[in-house]
Amino acid sequence: MNHIESVGKSENFLDQIIRSELREGFDEKNLKFRFPPEPNGYLHIGHAKSICINFGFGKEFSSPVNLRFDDTNPEKENIEFIDSIKNDIKWLGFNWDEECYASNYFDQLYDWAVHLIREGKAYVDDQDQVKIAEQRGVPSSPGTNSPYRERDLQTNLDLFHKMKINHFKPGECVLRAKIDMESPNMHMRDPIMYRIINHEHHRTKDKWVIYPTYDWAHGQSDYIENISHSFCTLEFEVHRELYDWFIENIPKKKKLLPKQREFARLNISYTIMSKRKLLELVESNVVDGWSDPRMPTISGMRRRGIPPDAIRNFCDKVGVSKRENIIDFALLDFCTREVLNKKAYRLMAVLDPVELEIINYPEGKNEMLTAENNQEDSSYGNREVSFSKNLYIEREDFKEESNRKYFRLSIGKEVRLKNGYIIMGDRVEKDKNGKITKIFCTYDPNSRSGSGTDESLRKVKGTIHWVDKNNHEIINVNLYDRLFKIQSPDENKEVDFKSHINENSLIKVKNVCAESSIKNVSFDNYYQFQRKGYFKLDSKNDKLTFNRTVTLRDTWKS
Ligand code: ATP
Ligand code: MG
């Protein structure tokens, strides 16, 4: 297939870059992409954007996409993170071509570093990082050369070898590229290539005590893997010159060289998007681990009940741009509702029950009413819901007196019980504090939904959900609010972002009454508790516990 012509969907600027290269003769067979996470935390929704971009191009052009772990920082990385990343990418619906690790290239990178030393393009510096940073200076004026910059070749080779064989302590020396201390681009002022880190690596174990920096490892890994387009976020734009310099200066056999191109990070309101800060939330027990349903992590969203297609649709809608902006969390909710409306099985559950007695319904009678599992899709079939004289309804669905705008139950007014009969409020019973303990009503025996009578078709203003008092299950539900109280919790660097945590972001509701068919729920499905929102089964211990994914409509006031 020829991909030079647009495939009809709206093109983003990365698309345009690729297509214009194809028009200029770049062979489509040589397109290759990668997603390069550092295994120092769980993936978040920002990574999902990068995944959708890279794997999206893979699908669009039928090109391979590598998963490459950028594992150059052994102090912060581990196998748990690697496993979670792989799991999350698969769950999002993508498959990588090769599973790669920057650490696979440590030998090659070392050899290339030796080559740069031999070429007079790298040297060992005995100064500490503070001193090195000082000498770098500021962009507007040239930096100062290190006193070790002119070391002779043999000394550099010896010292670098000693660095490798664990002769020095961390911080005693580093290997730096010898580029240009006067460059207006600070990243070109003799950047560090290797530092000593005395920490076991999760893959190479104790083989290495020197580790390549991001800049030294990334482009070379792209080159080794034949990546054609290396997409990253905007903050790396200033690294591009260095990316190209390293590639230019290593000994090469290949003609096709990778290109780095940058796009804007995804930021979402009322949350944070940095693994380091998410780790802080986990370690300070502000949340229940990386997969807490309030976390913006992929695993948190999965546990919350957001389906993978909703995340992919969200990333599509957000698009790819060159300018940073903050996306409203409501857009993700919108995408979630859109998918769940089609997918979710419907059930009835009463979160805050109050008893309702139908005065004129026969004592001891029990009916099984038919209810659709999903009115959007008849292939979901029907279920039976138990109905009798005594029911539970939502406390907020009743008011003794009401105005014209109140469409729920009140004295002298009618509502329909979902999938059941039309009832009219009659009177209430209260405790000594005036709290309603029981509502009495009458029903119209000919009005049952689906019974085909004129009354069954009669329209009343409101429909409320209910559960049979004599036949139901007690479950727990977790309701969530935003994790942070303000839109951009990490904007002000002076203030600890954790001080903006919303203490009421989790409400645990016990003794929720649900229709008895809830016994059949599974972890694989999505549910709508009618009128209450979309819910995901979280555990089957003791009682069933559900997490509310999202309400049916936006109830957040912003
Ligand atoms: P964090 O600061 O959260 O740790 P990172 O950029 O250090 O993020 P990496 O594991 O290095 O995390 O990122 C892997 C890929 O995902 C990179 O290409 C990176 O640019 C991209 N990425 C990370 N965060 C975002 C984001 N918020 N929006 C879009 N892409 C992102
Ligand atoms: Mg990173």
Q: Are residues 364 and 237 in the same domain?
A: no
pTM: 0.95
pLDDT at residue 7 greater than cutoff 90: no
Q: Examine the residue annotation and report whether 265 is marked as an active-site residue of this protein.
A: yes
Quote the CA–CA distance of 247 and 243 in Å, as a whole number: 6
50 lines ligand 1 (CB under 6 A): yes
47 lines ligand 1 (CB under 6 A): yes
Q: In angstroms, what is the span from residue 214 Cα to ligand 2's centroid?
A: 8
CB-CB contact of 211 with 195 (8 Å): yes
pLDDT at residue 360 greater than cutoff 90: yes
Q: At what angle do helices 153-164 and 106-118 cross, to 10 degrees?
A: 160
Q: Which domain holds residue 241?
A: 13-263
* Ligand 1 site-directed mutation target among 14, 35, 42, 47, most atoms within 8 Å of CB: 47
Decide if 181 is inside a domain: yes
Quote the CA–CA distance of 305 and 298 in Å, as a whole number: 11
Question: Of 263, 289, 320, at which residue does a domain stop?
Answer: 263
Q: Examine the residue annotation and report whether 38 is marked as an active-site residue of this protein.
A: yes
Residue for token pair 């109830």: 555
Q: Are residues 105 and 237 in the same domain?
A: yes
Residue 504: count of CB within 10 angstroms of its CB: 11
Q: What is the CATH number of the domain that holds 129?
A: 3.40.50.620
37 lines ligand 1 (CB under 6 A): yes
Decide if 500 is inside a domain: no
Catalytic residue among 76, 86, 149, 265: 265
Q: What is the CATH number of the domain that holds 367?
A: 2.40.240.10
Decide if 37 is inside a domain: yes
Q: In angstroms, what is the span from residue 482 Cα to ligand 2's centroid?
A: 26
Report pLDDT digits (tens) over 434-470: 999 999 999 999 999 999 999 989 999 899 999 999 9
Q: Are residues 253 and 356 in the same domain?
A: no
Decide if 247 is inside a domain: yes
Q: Are residues 54 and 159 in the same domain?
A: yes
Decide if 527 is inside a domain: no
Decide if 48 is inside a domain: yes
298 lines ligand 1 (CB under 6 A): no
Span 70-84, average pLDDT: 97
Question: Of 263, 292, 314, at which residue does a domain stop?
Answer: 263
For 193, residues 6+ apart whose C-beta sits below 8 A from its C-beta are 113, 116, 122, 174, 175, 176, 177, 212, 213, 215, 216
Decide if 122 is inside a domain: yes
Q: Are residues 30 and 125 in the same domain?
A: yes
Decide if 491 is inside a domain: no
pLDDT mean across residues, the chain: 95
The pLDDT of residue 10 is: 60
Question: Of 263, 283, 311, at which residue does a domain stop?
Answer: 263
Q: Relative to the alpha carbon of 69, which ligand is closest? A: 1
The pLDDT of residue 11 is: 77
386 lines ligand 1 (CB under 6 A): no
CA-proximal residue: ligand 1, atom 18 (nearest): 232
Count of structural domains within the chain: 2
Q: Are residues 218 and 366 in the same domain?
A: no
- Looking at the chain, the whole-number percentage of residues with pLDDT higher than 90 is 93
Q: Are residues 259 and 353 in the same domain?
A: no
pLDDT at residue 213 greater than cutoff 80: yes
Catalytic residue among 11, 28, 38, 357: 38
Helix (H) or strand (E) holding 89: helix 79-91
The pLDDT of residue 338 is: 97
The pLDDT of residue 555 is: 61
Q: Are residues 72 and 182 in the same domain?
A: yes
Where helices occur in 250-324 by DSSP H, the ranges are 275-283, 298-304, 308-318
Question: What is the number of the ligand 1 atom nearest to the C-alpha of 265?
Answer: 28
